[in-house]
């Protein structure tokens, strides 16, 4: 094994390059600028690394940026005792080795000038242009004196918004944090832990999503060493013990090299050591580590087709582990990553994981968006492109970033933003689902139809009543899979709102913030009145309160007008009246009522189990009857809950809903319980234009093949 695997601070890309002596650079920097005909010695390493990726780059602007940075930071020292200029130099070198273009490196040299010196943004803009000014402003922290405890979350909000317009802002921030983490040892332990936790929760997930694996892996190791020192030392000892002659990966690498050479495939076969956190994860997964678990084979080729040629040779000449095969070339990850993953069995049963990619793929896998150069440089003659909906189409504005920028506008409170940001970034896998209009939605793994509804319709999704997934009706709680086609279904009643249990199914911050905001604006809807006895059947979806569902329902203080909305007259002429959601009475049901919280009278069907429950706890019934011709039917019609008992069969749900629609009834909510002994129970809450149509609706539902009974809902009464 390479000894570099035991050093988390080892250079990331060019492992043959000696480690830069920052103290020496600091002494060079203190001597100040040199003559105009050559670059200052202090940025010679930056120029060398930059020219390795961009041979024709004009370094004049780098020289001018260094001169301004050195002169403005002169006299400032880091806590480590080094001249401050060593920090922007080190950050710029990190980016240069990853292949960043000249504008990014210029902004990197200047990234702390506006924050820590007398240099202003206007000066930066005047000397270096709008792009460099925007990047410097994007990474400049907000003043704690102005924002107090909110300074850190609001600074990250500012950086994310800036990243939405120019992804290079976050590239500079990630390199800045990496160098700070490398030199964090001079800080107090508690401050080290605080910075490491923010790095773990926010910066590392951002590095992963932007595809900058070279920065992500080193940040992970540095955080690991600070937050889990004992496990880190154990892992260090394991890697050190595995370093030396007799590495089984070397034997397999030699065999792979000869196999590909014999097949006429030009390829470079390397041993890629795992970093500390990767070894630790493999150890936790497998228990005892194998000799091949400390690294993987990396096969680099010239063309995409060569990747599959290599795969074919490996699977032909070695025994493949089929369960380990993944094709991220045909289906790239959302963070630009492309590669073929497989595993083969070598001599003596040793299993080696193999990564197969082109040199271009490898550069992108290491540097992510940094490898794009200047992604915003376009041909002026080219036609403007429309905004893509798929993050794979425009890596400079990935879908996850667009969603993050959308929901952060709703999270006005810094604490809410900070908490939601961490939760959002913790969801490290994405899926793509298709809309029926041909567009796509990028969602985190585990997202439901609730998330899809809010992603597509925003606040209009408050009225969602269900969805079609791959052409089939589905509940809003249905979890979506990558590649599904989803069509959220919205109710015609725009006054309706979400159900509290939607929060149990929402994974995206946008959905959770929208639902929470709706209940903040409608506090009476957040918790159902325990005395209104709504639907509580096993597995049933909680029904909305009658006041929300019936636009004409009486509210407190509306007197007898309630009976005009419900078509019911009660003995107390001044009491508001509402129909119980548990039994949804309609004419000509026999009625009885009970006074509940707020003085309203809730009216039930006389045979409803809630009636007996109310009487058992001493509630006095209130006489109620249907009004004779007065307001028996409101403009909104009547609402009723029906239960259909059926034998399970394909398309049963579709046929039932078609029968309901044919009878001119609207579905308010629907629940299908899990099948039991080949029998299925469907519960529908329906709105009919006329109660007289109820018998015909029930007959139509009974006529559906497989349905053996349709009855009015008889939910058990609540206890207590």
Closest CA to 687 of 454, 465, 537, 529: 465
- Marked catalytic residue, from 7, 115, 152, 645: 115
Query: Are the beta carbons of 244 and 399 closer than 8 angstroms?
Result: no
Closest CA to 305 of 267, 269, 332, 336: 267
Closest CA to 633 of 718, 702, 693: 693
3-class secondary structure, 124:
helix
Query: Are the beta carbons of 313 and 263 closer than 8 angstroms?
Result: yes
Closest CA to 450 of 500, 409, 511: 511
Closest CA to 608 of 661, 553, 532, 545: 532
Cα dihedral 560→562→567→572 (10° resolution): -50
636 CB-contact burial (10 Å; exposed 0-12 / middle 13-18 / buried 19+): middle
Closest CA to 300 of 343, 211, 362: 362
Closest CA to 608 of 452, 716, 690: 716
**Strand runs labelled E in 289-339:** 295-301, 319-320, 326-327
60 CB-contact burial (10 Å; exposed 0-12 / middle 13-18 / buried 19+): exposed
Closest CA to 214 of 486, 406, 15, 73: 15
Looking at the DSSP assignment, which residues form a beta bridge with residue 602? Answer: 578, 594
User: In Å, what is the CA distance from 72 to each residue of 29, 66, 67, 369?
Assistant: 12, 10, 8, 30
Query: Is the omega angle on the peptide bond into residue 588 within 30 degrees of 0, that is, cis?
Result: yes
- CA dist., res. 196 & res. 395, Å (int): 28
> The tokens of 630 are what?
């007065």
Cα dihedral 531→532→538→542 (10° resolution): -120
3-class secondary structure, 36:
coil
Looking at the DSSP assignment, which residues form a beta bridge with residue 601? Answer: 577, 595
3-class secondary structure, 627:
coil
């100040």: which residue's tokens?
A: 32
- CA dist., res. 501 & res. 683, Å (int): 17
Q: Are strands 601-605 and 577-579 parallel, antiparallel or unpaired?
A: parallel
- CA dist., res. 218 & res. 199, Å (int): 11
- CA dist., res. 345 & res. 513, Å (int): 49
Query: Are the beta carbons of 328 and 272 closer than 8 angstroms?
Result: no
3-class secondary structure, 257:
helix
**Catalytic annotation on 116?**
yes
Query: What would you report as the CA-atom Rg of the chain, rounded to the nearest whole angstrom?
Result: 33
């050591």: which residue's tokens?
A: 273
């009543």: which residue's tokens?
A: 465
**Catalytic annotation on 658?**
no
> The tokens of 481 are what?
């899979």
- Marked catalytic residue, from 116, 406, 493, 645: 116
287 phi and psi angles, rounded to 5 deg: 85, -100
Q: Any idea which residues carry the catalytic annotation? A: 115-116
């Amino acid at each position: 094994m390479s000894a570099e695997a035991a050093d988390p601070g080892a250079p990331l890309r060019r492992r043959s390059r000696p480690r830069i002596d920052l103290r020496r650079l600091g002494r060079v920097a203190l001597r100040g600028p040199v003559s105009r005909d050559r670059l200052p010695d202090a940025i010679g390493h930056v120029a060398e690394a930059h020219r390795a990726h961009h041979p024709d780059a004009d370094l004049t602007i780098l020289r001018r940026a260094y001169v301004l940075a050195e002169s403005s930071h002169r006299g400032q020292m880091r806590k480590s005792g080094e001249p401050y200029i060593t920090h922007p130099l080190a950050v710029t070198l990190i980016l240069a080795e990853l292949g960043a273009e000249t504008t990014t490196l210029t902004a990197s040299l200047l990234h702390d000038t506006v924050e820590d010196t007398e240099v202003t943004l206007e000066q930066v803009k005047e000397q270096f242009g709008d792009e460099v000014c925007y990047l410097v402003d994007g990474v400049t922290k907000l003043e704690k004196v102005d924002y107090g405890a909110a300074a850190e979350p609001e600074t990250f909000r500012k950086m994310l918004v800036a990243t939405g317009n120019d992804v290079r802002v976050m590239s500079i921030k990630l390199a800045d944090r990496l160098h700070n983490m490398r030199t964090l040892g001079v800080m107090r332990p508690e401050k080290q832990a605080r910075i490491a936790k923010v790095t773990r929760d926010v910066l590392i997930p951002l590095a992963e999503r932007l595809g900058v694996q070279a920065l992500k892996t080193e940040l992970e190791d540095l955080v690991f060493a600070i937050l889990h020192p004992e496990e880190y030392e154990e892992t260090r000892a394991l890697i050190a013990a595995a370093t030396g002659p007799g590495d089984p990966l070397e034997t397999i690498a030699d065999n792979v090299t000869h196999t590909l050479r014999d097949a006429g495939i030009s390829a470079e076969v390397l041993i890629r050591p795992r970093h500390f956190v990767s070894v630790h994860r493999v150890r936790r997964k497998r228990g005892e580590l194998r000799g091949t678990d400390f690294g993987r084979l990396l096969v680099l080729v010239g063309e995409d087709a060569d990747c599959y040629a290599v795969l074919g040779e490996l699977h032909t000449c070695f025994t493949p582990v089929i369960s380990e095969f993944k094709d991220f070339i045909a289906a790239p990850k959302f963070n630009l990553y492309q590669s073929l993953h497989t595993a083969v069995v070598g001599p003596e049963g040793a299993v080696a994981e193999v990564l197969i990619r082109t040199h271009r793929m490898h550069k992108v896998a290491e540097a992510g968006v940094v490898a794009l150069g200047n992604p915003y440089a376009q041909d002026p003659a080219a036609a403007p492109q429309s905004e893509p909906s798929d993050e794979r189409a425009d890596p400079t504005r990935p879908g996850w970033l667009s969603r993050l920028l959308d929901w952060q506008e709703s999270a006005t409170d810094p604490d809410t933003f900070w908490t939601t940001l961490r939760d959002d970034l913790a969801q490290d896998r994405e899926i793509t689902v298709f809309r029926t209009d041909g567009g796509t939605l990028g969602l985190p793994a585990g997202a439901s139809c609730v998330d899809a509804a809010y992603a597509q319709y925003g606040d209009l999704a408050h009225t969602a009543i269900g969805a079609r997934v791959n052409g089939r009706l589905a509940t809003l709680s249905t979890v979506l899979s990558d590649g599904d086609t989803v069509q959220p279904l919205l109710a015609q009643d725009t006054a309706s709102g979400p159900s509290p249990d939607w929060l149990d199914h929402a994974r995206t911050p946008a959905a959770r913030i929208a639902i929470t905001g709706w209940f903040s604006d409608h506090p009476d809807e957040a918790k159902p009145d325990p005395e209104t006895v709504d639907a509580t059947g096993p597995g049933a979806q909680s029904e909305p309160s009658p006041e929300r569902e019936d636009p004409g329902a009486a509210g407190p203080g509306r007197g007898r007008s309630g009976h005009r909305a419900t078509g019911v007259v009660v003995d107390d002429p001044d009491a508001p009246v509402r129909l119980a959601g548990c039994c949804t009475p309609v004419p000509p049901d026999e009625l009885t009522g009970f006074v509940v919280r707020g003085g309203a009278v809730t009216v039930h069907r006389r045979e409803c189990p809630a009636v007996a429950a109310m009487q058992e706890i001493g509630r006095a019934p209130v006489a109620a009857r249907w009004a004779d011709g007065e307001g028996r039917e409101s403009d909104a019609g009547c609402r009723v809950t029906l239960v259909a008992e059926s034998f399970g069969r394909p398309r049963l749900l579709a046929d039932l809903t078609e029968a309901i629609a044919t009878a001119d009834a609207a579905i308010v909510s629907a629940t299908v319980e899990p099948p039991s002994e080949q029998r299925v129970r469907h519960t529908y809450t329906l709105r009919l234009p006329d109660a007289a149509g109820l018998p015909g609706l029930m007959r139509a539902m009974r006529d559906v093949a497989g349905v053996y009974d349709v009855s009015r809902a008889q939910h058990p009464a609540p206890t207590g």
